[in-house]
Amino acid sequence: MNLRILSPLQGGVVDAIASKSHVHRLLICAALSDRPAEIECSALSDDIEATVDCLRALGAEIGYNRGVFSVAPVKEIARGKVLRCRESGSTLRFLLPVAAALGADCRFLLDGRLSERPLQPLIAALEQHGCSVFRPESRCISISGQLRSGEFFLPGNLSSQFISGLLLAFSCMKEGGSICLQDRLESAPYVRLTVETLKAFGVDVHVSESRFAVPFGSVLHSPGRIAAEGDWSNAAFWLCAGAISRHPVLCRGLSADSVQGDRQVLAILAQMGARAAWTKEGALVEKDRLHAVDIDAADIPDLIPALAAVCALAEGRSRIYHAGRLRLKESDRLHTICSALGAVGAEIREEPEGLTIRGVSQLAGGTVCAAGDHRIAMMAAVVAAGCAEPVTVLQAQAAQKSYPDFWKHYQLLGGKTEVL
C-alpha cells in the first residue's frame, strides 16, 4: 500500500498501544506457568500474533477477546510441530531456547530478513548444552534434543534477545541456569524488562554486572491477571511528531516508572529544546526551538528512526553513534533512515556505526520508501510535519508489523492521507 500524506498530523491526544516487547514476555511466561492467566493487551500486531501462533503449536491454549488474552499453559509438550515466526526476531530468539528446554523437537520458519539476522552465538550455546540445531535452508531451523542446565557464555553486544530467551528457558527448567556475558551488554533495558516480567511470575533472577542466573527450583506462578504496559517505542513517534508539529501531542497510557529503555525519548527531546514533560495525563511534547544533540543508540536502537526525523529539523549537526546493530533489523536501518530522510531533503550522512545529520528549518517533502520496515514507515509520517510539500510513503503497510492502527491513529491526530 502506498500513501500520500496530504497534510501532517495536527496534534492532540492519543492512547499508547500495548508494548509488544512486554506482551511477548508475558505470553511466554503465562504459557509456561503453573495455571491459567489473563493478559490485558490493548492492541495486536503481526509480531504478537507470531508468538501466539508458536505457543499454540507448542501446546498452549490461547484466546483473545475484547483486549484480553486468556492463556492455558502447556501441559503436554507438542513435539514435531512447525513454528511460524513470520518476521519477528523476538519470537524466534525467545522461543528457540524455550523449545529446547521443553524438548519439543520442532521446526522454525522465518520470513523476510529474519533469516539474515544474527543467531549463531545462541545456536552455539544451545548445541554446547545438549541440543542439535540444523538449518536445511536459510528460512528453516530445526532443533532437537533436551537443553541441559549449566553456565552459558554469550556476547552482550550483538542481541539482548539471546539473554532474554535463555532466561525464559531457564525458568521452565528445574535446574535453572546462568549466563556469563563476554562483553558489555547493549540494549540492557530489554533484559531488565525480562527480569521484571519473570519476577511478576514468581521467578527471581540473580543479576550482577556480567552474570544472570535463574536459581534451582524456580517455578513460574501465574499472577492470575496482569496488564501489559503501554509501548514507549511506538509512542515515541507521536512524541517526536509533537516536537516538530505546530500543535502539541499528549500520549496517554504510558508508565513513567517503566523499565523500557525507550522512555528516554522524553529526556532526549527536552535536551533538544522541545517542551517535553510528564504530566498527570501522560507524556506531553510541544514544539520549541530545536537544536542538535549527540545520541548514544546502544540502549535505545528502536528510538533512532523517530529521533533522526527530529534531528533533521534541529539547528546544528547531530551525531548518532553506537548504532551499528541497526543494520541488522527489518532493513539495514542506518541505510534506510539515510535514504528516507534524504529523499525529503534532509542533510544526512550514513556512517559505519551511525548517522550525522545537519538540521534545517524545513524539509522539502517527496517520496519515501519504507523498505518493508515498520519503523521507517512511521518515521516518514513523523517527518511530514516538517515538510513544505506532501510526503508519499511507499510500502506504508509495513507499520502493521508492530502497530496495525498506526495510520488510523495518524488520522485521529488530524493527519490526512490518500491511498495511491
pLDDT at site 347: 98
Whether 3-17+230-419 and 20-209 share one fold: the answer is yes
Q: What letter would DSSP give residue 400? A: G
Mapped onto helix, strand or coil, the DSSP state of residue 113 is helix
pLDDT at site 396: 98
pLDDT at site 37: 98
CATH topology of domain 3-17+230-419: UDP-n-acetylglucosamine1-carboxyvinyl-transferase; Chain (3.65.10)
Note whether 363 and 383 are within 8 A (CB).
Answer: yes
Please tell me the distance from the alpha carbon of residue 393 to that of residue 41, in angstroms, as a whole number.
29
pLDDT at site 219: 95
pLDDT at site 6: 95
Closest CA to 32 of 248, 209, 246, 197: 197
* Nearest-10 Cα torsion for 139, 143, 148, 152: -10
User: What tens-digit pLDDT sequence spans the chain (420 residues)?
Assistant: 999 999 999 999 999 999 999 999 999 999 999 999 999 999 999 999 999 999 999 999 999 999 999 999 999 988 899 999 999 999 999 999 999 999 999 999 999 999 999 999 999 999 999 999 999 888 999 999 999 999 999 998 889 999 999 999 999 999 999 999 999 898 999 999 999 999 999 999 999 989 999 999 999 999 999 999 999 999 999 999 999 999 999 999 999 999 999 999 999 999 999 999 999 999 999 999 999 999 999 999 999 999 999 999 999 999 999 999 999 999 999 999 999 999 999 999 999 999 999 999 999 999 999 999 999 999 999 999 999 999 999 999 999 999 999 999 999 999 999 999
Instruction: Extract the C-alpha cell encoding 131.
Output: 541440543
CATH class of 20-209: alpha beta
Phi, psi of 352 (to 5 degrees): -55, -40
Residue with cell 509501548: 231
The contacts of residue 389 (CB under 8 Å, 6+ apart) are 364, 365, 366
The contacts of residue 76 (CB under 8 Å, 6+ apart) are 59
Mapped onto helix, strand or coil, the DSSP state of residue 259 is coil
Hey, where are the domains in the chain?
3-17+230-419, 20-209
Residues forming the active site: 302
